[in-house]
Structure 1
């Protein structure tokens, strides 16, 4: 007979005590990767390819794929790219390519959300015109990771990551950020990173979500690492609940936790499960669950799974007018499926 762990017992009790609970959101999404090449060499990465060794996604292929996604009910196009170095002569072409992918998504009636690493203010301003929201993980702001997992990752410097949140606020971009947990940092580091995010949000009011992503080992990373255990993730959710403004949604990736871990995180304060697509490009060894399977998993604990868009309603007025009309069409379709 299979034994039940203390964590599983406590998580079930916590979920039961909290009923009735309410809604948990997700976005029906599809990820497009303009290129996997990246000049950073983070030791835990399962995404990147060496610079010059990843063909760029063909625009003809994108144009053919997008109408099919629209027919399947996909609303969000996550444009997730590796980084061409800021000083590279190919940087301008890389940005133009990402812009064209976003333009094609909009023309197909889909909603782009771009995460392409740190950008200059001018680059971010250009992408603002073709995205309903954007994102960049802070990961952790402790500088000690620059001596270990980020030793060969220039764009992972804490000041670079935080400057992106500030630029997004100044430009009025609805933004998603988050922490990567289990890189060798401490709980005190989590609190410091959450506090930095909260401080910037208090100034600009633009951060929609904070993702709490546990390190989950994959086959392609440069150095082996241990997965963050689920009680630690639950603790991170509790800390985020304590240190972030209540209007910021706390997001956890449902493919990186067990069912009991998922329920414990929801009971602790997580309210969003992110974009669900067939493949998790960041963690390709961990398939995303379907909305149907998630709905079935969380319903017995009193949760209702609800679709959302990649831009939260309070930020609709921030968008350029043509995108506001498109977003409103999608909101109507979610209300009247």
Structure 2
């Protein structure tokens, strides 16, 4: 008889679209960007064609993940409008948008709140030392700029995801300082849903010559992070970057409870394919973990959303609940006593 499901780990059935890979930053570890003017922006009609097949794949989240256009660029307004229009299209077609497009102005965040159920921005690391190394050619990676995004998200009541990138030249003390800064802001606004602990994983495009972050260190980092962060912030780890099944399970035992958006491609780490639901279930289920789909907004934040967004979220919560009932019924029918 299979082990009873005593513990839950969540994931978001997600699909990522990229309005543009162009980015004025040149982070040394990046495997995502292209130079400004070197690639076409995604059109609304292209996005529509991508979205249509997703209705039969139980996808609920559309992650809008974009390269950054300089705040002073003449293209900035067109770039922002394209992101807004893509969010609006995703909503109109029945999905729930979550945008991560780098630092935004307060007014841009205020506008995107209307068409997103949640948003995100990685802090990465708050130490200014990285501005001399991996962030030397990345003007928007100023720690104070990124920290301000978390504050503005709190002021605007935007459910938010942030996180750390581990192994890019920071120290262990830098991890704890960054986590404590997240904790401090959350204590004031109570708006941070998740903190991602993402191990640096080398890719083909980067110029940063450093080994991958040792995934064997992750459980210890997670355990300490769990002590720093309040219990209402979920710790997320990307399962495609923790390739060893035993260490993935060790990360869950240490306190991670979410596996992020699982979709066809990890755009930030394209060299590391996502495992699918069945593969993850085969790892988790035998040792008592139940893999549960979630929405890109956690239930405690539903009343922060507009009426239109709340209606969409309510429909999806009912849909996921019914799907789980069907899955549990199917699973139980195969259990013999």
Residue 314 of structure 1 is matched in structure 2 by 300
Match in the other structure for 2:284: 298
Query: Does 1:324 pair with 2:310?
Result: yes
Match of 1:246 in 2: 231
Once the two structures are superposed, the pairs formed by residues 1-337 of structure 1 within 5 Å of their partners are 22-257=7-242, 258-337=244-323
Taking the aligned partners of 2:162 and 2:122, their CA distance within structure 1 comes to 5
User: CA separation in 2, counterparts of 1:183 and 1:167?
Assistant: 26
Superposed CA offset, 1:138-172 (max 9, x none): 00001111111001111111101100000000000
Length, aligned pairs only: 320
Q: Can you list the C-alpha shifts for 1:196-237, whole angstroms capped at 9, x where unaligned?
A: 000000000000000000000000102322101012212211
What CA distance in whole angstroms lies between the structure 2 residues aligned with 1:153 and 1:238? 31
SS in 1 for 2:130: helix
Which digits, 9 at most, give the CA deviation of each residue in 1:291-315, with x for residues without a partner? 1110110112211100000000000
TM-score normalised by L of structure 1: 0.93
RMSD, aligned CA = 1.2
TM-score, scaled relative to structure 2? 0.93
Give CA deviations for 1:164-207 in whole Å, capped at 9, x if unaligned: 00000000000000000001111111000000000000000000
Cα distance in 2 for partners of 1:250, 1:20 equals 20
C-alpha deviation, 1:319, in angstroms: 0.4
C-alpha displacement of 1:68 = 1.5
What is the distance in 2 between the residues matched to 1:300 and 1:210? 27
Shift of 1:65: 2.0
- In the alignment, structure 2 segments of 5+ residues that lack a partner are 324-337
* CA distance in structure 2 between the aligned counterparts of 1:167 and 1:224, rounded to whole angstroms: 35
Alpha-carbon distance between aligned partners in 2 of 1:123 and 1:163, rounded to the nearest angstrom: 14
Note the C-alpha offset of 1:21.
5.1
1:34 Cα shift? 0.1
Flag as ranges the 4+ runs of structure 1 deviating above 3 A. Answer: none
